Each structure stands twice: as structure tokens, then as C-alpha cells.
Chains A and B, each alone.
Chain A
């Protein structure tokens, strides 16, 4: 059974940093690209960052370019999202997602971790 377990969310002050982790199981992690998708309270879905299967190519939404960094450790079946210079509008539930295959959508989602940016 595929499982994606996010951790690392919480309350952080504006300008602060947080690192999210997503540990995967139930599939060959190193074969699949992974992404982070967020959802602000009461709002829709926003893809924020992704990384290819071997970890050599990260890619970002314009809204987080330069202040979020995605990485992965295939030996630990884990993908990370380092979030710096956090702003109030980064407040959201952050979901870890697995890509079904190249050019295919996200077939598995974690349950999400809430990040709240507030003073």
C-alpha cells in the first residue's frame, strides 16, 4: 500500500523558516517524481514545487521561487520542502504527492501538514 506521510508543519512567525518532510512507502521511491501542493484555508489547490526521480531537477511555481527549496533523499525515501522567508500568504495545508509517471498526474497524496505563518 502506497503511503505518504508528511511532517514538519506548525506555527511560524513571518520571516521564519520551516522544513517539511514526506516519507514514502509502498513503492519504489527512486523511480518517481514527487511534488508539493498547497491549499490555503478555504481556497483551491496550488502546485508549488516538484523534483524529478533522481533529484537532479527541481522546479518551482513563480510564487515560491527563491524562497522554497525542494530536495529528496532516495536512500531515506523522503522528499523535503525547505521554506524560508515565510509570509502570511504561505499559510496552507501542504500535501506531498507522487507522480503517476512522466507527464501523468498525481496518483497518491499524503494527508497534508498545516503551516501557519502568523505573529
Chain B
């Protein structure tokens, strides 16, 4: 069965530091992978997605993610974190049809000034 694991429940970084949020998936076929961000009390905003092609994907707000099939990973990175990046981050993978997603439990990011 498909699954998504975000090993880090909570991460704290200092402003200006680099960031990597981990996402591991389990899916038998070619995965479609997504990262969403949710600020407190807000909806989910798409950061980036991977469907095929170049395994390094650029997204909004300076984020990027790298798809590594051999490691079943799709880690999210940002070279320099801003205080406004404090939020909940969710990784998701398609669930075998075009309308259902399997979600990770999320990683809560705190940013110290």
C-alpha cells in the first residue's frame, strides 16, 4: 500500500540557516509527488511538485526538492530560511488514481530570529 513518511515531526532552525525537510514514500509505480505548506489558520499552498523529468524541482518561495528513486525520497530544501517560512509542511503522493493523495503527517517548522 502507498504511504508517505515525514520522519521529523518538528524542526527548529535559525533565520538564515539552510533547511531540509525529509519525505519518504512507498509506491510501486511512478510516483507523483507534492509538497504543500500551511501557515497557521490558512489553507494549503502548493510549493512544488514532481511528475517526471528533471529530478531537481524548483518551487515557489525559494524552495526546491530532489526526487531520488533509489532512496524513495523527495526531500524539500531551502538555502536560507526566513521567519515567514514558519509553518506546517506536508508531503503527498498520488494514491494510484488521479484524485486521491496519500499525505504525510507533516513537519512543523519553527524559525528562531
Asked whether A and B interact, the reply is no
Residues of A that sit less than 8 Å from B by CB: none
